[in-house]
Amino acid sequence: MKCSQLLALLTLALTSTLSFSVFAGSSDPTDEEQAVLESCMSLKNAPEDRSANSCIYYIQGFLAGSLTTKSDYVLRETSGVFFDRAYQTRVGKRTSKEQPIQLCLSRDDNVEHLAERLVGHLSYPIESMQLLHTQIFDALEAESSCS
């Protein structure tokens, strides 16, 4: 099993997703978001009809965006004393308590199969995109935890 550690990536993705939702202005989902949420809710009643479901496609895109990010774009773990001190001075301790999620994914595991397994972890009702994102992260942790 290859251990893919998504150190800053998942923390960064979750933080940006949640902060975008907070600052988006309107709490009402857009038509596209509503279609995804309804699609995810439909899986509760017909879990076997997953092949052409937009919820599955959304989760696949979510995973593909998270898992295929080049390491060049991920924050470095060690960046030097000066940078660390400057960052800590400006940002403070708000982000220092967040621990990144570490996932272990099989080499032969593809995004399509992983997305279908994650759907089994969703709990209903799913009333917002923020809740859907949180559930995807929780499902990833449950499905692919390294421990």
In a domain, 54, yes or no: yes
State the residue range of the domain holding 96.
2-19+30-144
In a domain, 53, yes or no: yes
Number of compact structural domains in the chain: 1
Per-residue pLDDT, averaged over 19-23, amounts to 45
24 inside domain: no
Domain membership of residue 25 (yes or no) is no
pTM score of the predicted model: 0.60
pLDDT, tens digit (0-9, with 9 covering 90-100), for 122-138: 888 888 999 999 999 89
Residue 131: per-residue pLDDT: 93
With bands split at pLDDT 50, 70 and 90, how would you rate the model's confidence at 50? low
Q: What is the mean pLDDT of residues 51-75?
A: 72
Rounding to the nearest 10 degrees, give the CA dihedral for residues 18, 119, 115, 57: -80
For residue 32, give every residue at least 6 positions away whose Cβ sits within 8 Å of its Cβ, in sequence order, or none: none
User: If you average pLDDT over every residue of the chain, what do you get?
Assistant: 71
Contact (Cβ atoms closer than 8 angstroms) between residue 67 and residue 4: yes
